[in-house]
Amino acid sequence: MVLHFLIRGRVQGVGFRWFVHREASELNLRGWVRNTEEGDVEVVVAGETEDLNDLRASLRRGSRGSRVDNILEHTLDESEAASLDAFRIQGAW
């Protein structure tokens, strides 16, 4: 299963991408996380349904110092998974 999340709230400048990276990596998920120019955080992730449910719960909880106001979620076509490797942060130094 491949999912796209857009997380809105106070999610930039509070370690949210690093939090998502840690959570997704522990679940052996593939994909990426990045900041958007609008101040949100975007995630594309592939894995087993149960692991994705665990990640979804973590996204709702958020990192320490963050505030998650809203999460938009879309299911992507399975073919999107072909281009996804080990979970990574895009745009990080």
Residue with token string 């939090």 = 19
pLDDT of res. 91: 82
Q: What is the pLDDT of residue 73?
A: 98
Q: What is the DSSP string of 12-56?
A: SSSSHHHHHHHHHHHTT-EEEEEE-TTS-EEEEEE--HHHHHHHH
Which pLDDT does position 93 carry in this prediction? 55
Copy the structure tokens of residue 69: 């106001």
Query: Quick check: is 61 catalytic?
Result: no
CB 4 within 8 A of CB 74: yes
Q: Which one is catalytic: 17, 28, 64, 67?
A: 17
Residue 79, φ and ψ in degrees, nearest 5: -60, -25
pLDDT tens per residue across all 93 residues of the chain: 999 999 999 999 999 999 999 999 999 999 999 999 999 999 999 999 999 999 999 999 999 999 999 999 999 999 999 999 999 999 865
For the domain made up of 2-80, give the CATH fold: Alpha-Beta Plaits (3.30.70)
Annotated active-site residue 28? The verdict is no
